Chain A
Amino acid sequence: MTLVQHVLHKYPAVGRDNLIPILQEIQTAEGYLSKKSILEVGRYLDIPASKIFGVATFYNQFRFEPFGVNHVQVCRGTACHVLGSSTVLQELEKHLKVKAGQTTRDGQFSIEVVACIGACGLAPVICVNGEFHAKVTAQSIKEIVDSYKTKGE
């Protein structure tokens, strides 16, 4: 039984209203919503793939690519915003050549934008694999990220 089947198994009463809980469970289990799992959910609930993709892209919580080896969360909460987190994010995206929500082609890095990680005193803050980095700047972000690259090797 595949993971998706395992999740679907818990929802024997098929209905459109189960769509979001199912997607959430799959994402929790797999880390993201793969094309394959979306198609499988569609067949199970009899909802066209375009509709499910439409619903899933409506919400920020769903991702469509697996996490990278190193997962970078960039805080875009108010305090971080005021202290320039938007440039940090821009620089990071430029440096890794992927947008927020995506994963680099070598699977090393993924970027996620989060609303607030409760470390406003350290703003602007990012979190890589659960490790916090305080007072990040457009310059330092590259070094921080690159240090993880070497760790991976």
Chain B
Amino acid sequence: MDFTININNKSLVASRGETILEVMNRNGIRVPTLCHIKNALPTGACRMCVVEDNKTGKLITSCSFPAEPGMSILTHSPRVVESRKTIIELLLSNHPDDCLYCVRNKNCELQDLSSELHVTERRIRGIKNKANLDLSSASIIRDPEKCILCGRCVYVCEEVMGVACIDFINRGNKSIIGTAFHQGLNTSSCINCGQCIMVCPTGALTEKNHFAQIQEALSNPAKRVVVQYAPSITVSMAEELGMEPGVDINGILNAALRKVGFDHIFDSSFSADLTIMEESAELIHRVQNGGVLPMITSCCPGWVKYAEEFAPDFIPNLSSCKSPQQMMGAIIKSHFAEQENLKPEEIYSVSIMPCTAKKFEAQREEMTREGISDVDAVLTTRELARFLKLFGVDMFNIKPELVDSPLGFRSTAGKLFGASGGVMEAAIRTAYRTLTGKEMVEFQVPALRGFEGRKETKINIDGLELGVAVVNGMTNAKKLLDEIRSGKNDVHFIEIMACPGGCIGGGGQHIGTSDEQLRARMQTLYRIDETERIKVSHKNPEIVDLYKEFLGEPLGHKSHELLHTHYHQREVVK
């Protein structure tokens, strides 16, 4: 049922159940918000979105107040603006004034609002927050001093990720956001997905940075420094650089990384192809030999840790394949080292990932051989942008270059790993070929594309009906796992990605990514798949060569040693 309400002396149509904020957003009226998260139940905690109700003379929070017929609202009356300004001044009163030293400088919502509301002097002096940094996690640093208690991290951690390792602790002016028993994040159930960083308006949550180690390696003549970048990086870095969303910066990125001084540049989409070779073989092996089904992908380190903590009963279902990052790492420090006459310890292996959990994965015990990690340092997309700036690389005046070969060429199937559903699609293409000896007529599986939290379909491979499901967001995964526990048996292969939309929406991506930007990234990935020629992993010539020269066959002895692993139940505070 529609009715009209009056906002800033203009009649606007609203429908029942809509909040005032929704009506305003639809009509291009912008009021600032801090604690608000789209599509989430409003908390009304920060009170930035207050508007004046002309009839009652009250200030009401537009994010939580439903529009009512005949309402008359002022969004920027002097009272409202003054009230918002005071809120910001109060938030700043106990905030550490170290913007110049903050990672989020120039990309901070508190800073933006303070400038927007013309906070130019310190009217309110409060006692500064005092709290210790939590440096315990391999991926995420928590700085409670910078926290403004908006609660957005608490929301995503519980509602989107189903993890809930942080919550509001204590009461009133002693409130902080923290873990149970004030322990470090490393002993909590945190899966390192980094979605909390993505929603944090300030620098209270940031990723653990490896710049110093990488710079040291780059300037060490005894080290060969190699780098790999994930499939989603080239299509999701544009926003960090000030380019059009969704632009594929592939060639430019190669050139930029060479300028910085990396000796070899590899593409993780190549090792994604490798993952597909192993994973599809594993799937077929399980189906034909009565192995544990459904098989679940293990590319996503967030999901793997979730499984170890919350779903240990599904560990036998996890594919034993390492993720593309770790497969590449293992190949670099074995085959590549051999070819270049290097010892593994002479190589410093960097990876660029859209993900904070990859930092955790890289230092896992399972990903180490004889005390040497396969991947030494991980940079997120946004860290890479800062790293390139540090080296003065002008991304707008640079000639595209090719990636190094071998270990650089990729099929478009490997590239699809960047989007939710991509791993599944790529695996189906190769499994089909292995089982039937023929290529698929139509490579695309539209039912597995798009942003829905859960996508399911049936694939018919020469009479063998394979049920497949793709989920992103751990709460969606939890639902599916619960259904399987209670008897759902029509799925054989599941792809699980922790982050909404898959890696293009990962916790290491540009902060402030909008839905449109995400869509643009996904479209670019699918456009690459449409326009390029080699669309299946098993036709990647470098993959074919790698098996011929080194690995032998999928699931063979060498593969087993280098590319597969096993996971175990993990005891954490949960």
Contact = CB atoms under 8 A, between A and B. Distances in A.
B168 A54 contact: yes
Contact of A58 (B164, B171, B179, B574): B171
Interface in A39-86: 39, 42, 48-54, 57-59, 64
B158 A48 contact: yes
Contacts of B574: 39, 42, 48-49
B189 A48 contact: yes
A38 B180 contact: yes
Of B164, B167, B178, most A-chain CB atoms within 10 Å: B167
Contacts of A58: 168, 170-171
B171 A50 contact: no
B180 A53 contact: yes
Interface in A1-47: 35, 38-39, 42
Interface in A70-105: none
A53 B169 contact: yes
Interface size class of B (residues with CB under 8 A): 10 to 19
Given A39-B573, A42-B574, A50 B170 contact: no
Given A48-B165, A50-B180, A52-B180, A57 B170 contact: yes
Contacts of A35: 181
B325 to A, nearest CB: 29
Nearest to A64: B181
B562 to A, nearest CB: 37
Contacts of B169: 50, 53-54, 57
B253 interface: no
Interface in B508-533: none
B430 interface: no
Contacts of A39: 573-574
Given A38-B180, A48-B158, A48-B189, A54 B573 contact: no
A42 B167 CA distance: 14
A53 B176 CA distance: 12
Contacts of A42: 574
Interface residues of A, number: 15
B276 interface: no
Contact of B171 (A48, A51, A57): A57
Interface in B130-176: 158, 163-171
B181 A51 contact: no
Nearest to A60: B171
A61 B534 CA distance: 66
Contacts of B195: none
A53 B181 contact: yes
Contacts, number: 46
Nearest to B176: A57
Contacts of A38: 180-181
A49 B573 contact: yes
A54 B157 CA distance: 15
A54 B164 CA distance: 11
B39 to A, nearest CB: 22
Contacts of A50: 164-167, 169, 178-180, 188
Contacts of A48: 158, 163-165, 167, 180, 189, 574
B160 to A, nearest CB: 14
Contacts of A52: 180
B299 to A, nearest CB: 26
Nearest to B158: A48
A58 B174 CA distance: 10
Contacts of B163: 48
Nearest to B157: A50
Interface string B351-381: 0000000000000000000000000000000
A54 B179 CA distance: 9
Contacts of B178: 50
Nearest to B179: A50
Nearest to A53: B180
A48 B171 CA distance: 19
Of A50, A51, A58, most B-chain CB atoms within 10 Å: A50
A38 to B, nearest CB: 7
Nearest to A42: B574
Contacts of B168: 54, 58
A64 B180 CA distance: 12
A77 to B, nearest CB: 19
A89 to B, nearest CB: 16
Given A48-B158, A49-B573, A54 B181 contact: no
Given A50-B179, A50-B180, A58-B170, 12 more contacts: A35-B181, A38-B180, A42-B574, A48-B163, A48-B189, A49-B181, A49-B573, A50-B165, A50-B166, A51-B164, A53-B167, A57-B171
Closest 4 CB pairs of A and B: A49-B180, A48-B164, A54-B167, A50-B167
27 contacts: A42-B574, A48-B158, A48-B163, A48-B180, A48-B574, A49-B180, A49-B181, A49-B573, A50-B164, A50-B165, A50-B167, A50-B169, A50-B178, A50-B179, A50-B180, A50-B188, A51-B167, A53-B169, A53-B179, A53-B180, A53-B181, A54-B167, A54-B169, A57-B169, A57-B171, A58-B171, A64-B181
Interface of B: 158, 163-171, 178-181, 188-189, 573-574
